[in-house]
Amino acid sequence: MLGGMDLPAGDSKLVQIMDAALSKAAVRAADKLVCRVGCTQCCYGAFAINSLDALRLRAGMEALRVSNPELWKVIEGRASMWVSEHGRDFPGDIETGVLGESHEDQDRFEDFANDAACPALDPATGRCDVYAYRPMTCRVFGPPVRMGDGNALGHCELCFVGASEEEVAACEMPLPHELEAELIEEVGLPHQTVVAFALLGRALEMRAID
């Protein structure tokens, strides 16, 4: 539970759909998809996550606090260090971790913490310490997915090297955007944050939708 809010029950369905879609895409891609434990290409640089992602991450942290308090403390420590190092330049509310929505804030975010390691990343093993609870952005990085207006396919630059457009298209990973949007609406918090603040539970004051 995050700030008195539960993770919506439908999130487990969303995660199951995503995991199944990734597994099918990986089978089709075979050796063209090079994602593996220890590859941290997608673990550097700040990126925005929605309130559903934030709730899921906090659920993971609460589970770790009970099952593995030592690891929970390590992750909290990394997240605190991340905020201490990058918080001064954070384009939003440093107290809550809510990203600003102005054009100026959005422009600043483009250059914000681009080389910073995610605090969920174990630098010794290259593993994500909250892998089962990771944000949707992390779950779709690697296979081909529809970008922007939905007309272009994008994928990790390390994957599908030398593959034709047809080969890439054959491995597309469909995304359940509508279900995710419904769950975000159910949460009632339209704002965004970043992983470090979610791990710390700092994104608790995001204003509810009127």
Number of Cβ within a 10 Å radius of residue 55: 25
- Domain ranges for the chain, please list them: 10-30+47-200
Mean predicted confidence (pLDDT) in 105-117:
96
The DSSP letter of residue 93 is -
- Summarised one tens digit per residue, pLDDT across range 48-68 is 999 999 999 999 999 999 999
Given a cut of 90, whether residue 10 has pLDDT beyond it is: yes
What percent of the chain is modeled with pLDDT above 90?
82
Q: How high is the pLDDT of residue 203? A: 60
| Residue 79: C-alpha distances to residues 53, 99, 129, 171, 176 (Å) | 16, 17, 12, 35, 29
Which segments within the chain are labelled E, that is strand? 121-122, 127-128, 145-147, 152-154
Nearest Cα to 3, choosing from 162, 167, 206?
206
Given a cut of 70, whether residue 150 has pLDDT beyond it is: no
Given a cut of 80, whether residue 151 has pLDDT beyond it is: no
Q: How high is the pLDDT of residue 100? A: 95
Provide the mean pLDDT of the chain: 91
